[in-house]
Amino acid sequence: MALGSALLALTAASAAGAQGAIYAFVDANGIAHFTNAPRDSRFVRLAWTAQSVRPDERTAPIRWEYDGLIGLTARAHRVPPALVKAVIAAESSFDPGAVSRKGAQGLMQLMPETARSLGVSDPLRADENVDGGVRYLRDMMDRYGTLSLALAAYNAGPQAVDRHGGVPPYRETRDYVKRVLTYYRAYDGDFRR
């Protein structure tokens, strides 16, 4: 198995078995073997997990633990689930306890004032945070009519989009819009069931 293929398999195995350890060995024929339940003494526990590697901004993190919540909430508010997953990946990297330097909280990184205006009482609770974040994203989509502007408003605030008459010239916001759109394309297949 080529190293790239082995790492891809390991990433998938780590994401799937995030609650337990992953073990691996390479046999005499150069074939990599992975398991979460070793029965052979050749398996060695890996310290590496999907969460320990910072993903390349062009590569969507491989995560599934919130797909059910994302799918139900996104569909209830008429937002593509893959878009919601992309926003979560870009905002918090799937960490429900994430708090930014500016005070944004949870999976969808809601600012305290925004959370209050949306009726979110506990922004660190995944279900409340995602519901509030999806409703806010839906509002931005309705307000601006284009995904790029809606995402820019989600990141920099609608005042910045209005003031600049489009995506603000902030590097962070421009990079954010590109990253979310890249992740969105990558996650589309996760919700085609």
**Encoded tokens for 68:** 């059910």
pLDDT tens readout for residues 74-132: 999 999 999 999 999 999 999 999 999 999 999 999 999 999 999 999 999 999 999 99
Indicate if the pLDDT at residue 18 is higher than 50. no
- Would residue 104 count as lying in a domain? yes
**Domain identity same for 183 and 95:** yes
- Would residue 62 count as lying in a domain? no
Out of 9-18, 61-70, 77-86, 114-123, which region has the weakest mean confidence (pLDDT)?
A: 9-18
Catalytic residues: 91
The total number of residues written for the chain in this structure: 193
* Distance between CA atoms of residues 83 and 99, nearest Å: 21
pTM of the model: 0.71
* Distance between CA atoms of residues 19 and 16, nearest Å: 8
- Would residue 136 count as lying in a domain? yes
* Distance between CA atoms of residues 89 and 92, nearest Å: 6
Of these ranges, 6-20, 24-38, 98-112, the one predicted with the greatest mean pLDDT is: 98-112
Within 53-125, where are the H helices? 67-76, 81-92, 112-117
Helix (H), strand (E) at residue 183 = helix 171-187
Domain count, the chain: 2
**Domain identity same for 42 and 82:** no
DSSP code of residue 110? B
The domain of 82 spans: 67-191
Write down the pLDDT at residue 59: 84
**Domain identity same for 95 and 15:** no
- Would residue 8 count as lying in a domain? yes
**Domain identity same for 74 and 11:** no
Write down the pLDDT at residue 3: 39
Give the Å distances, CA to CA, from 11 to 75, 100, 184. Answer: 28, 26, 19
Question: Could you tell me which of 61, 43, 66 has the C-alpha nearest to residue 51?
Answer: 61
Share of the chain above pLDDT 70, in %: 77
Question: Locate tokens 């994302």: which residue?
Answer: 70
**Domain identity same for 111 and 176:** yes
- Checking phi first, is residue 121 left (phi over 0); if not, alpha (psi -120 to 50) or beta? alpha
Give the distance, in angstroms, between the CA of residue 135 and the centroid of all CA atoms in the same chain.
Answer: 17
The CA angle 56-105-119, to the nearest 5 degrees, is 135
**Domain identity same for 28 and 98:** no
pLDDT tens readout for residues 138-158: 999 999 999 999 999 999 999
Write down the pLDDT at residue 57: 55
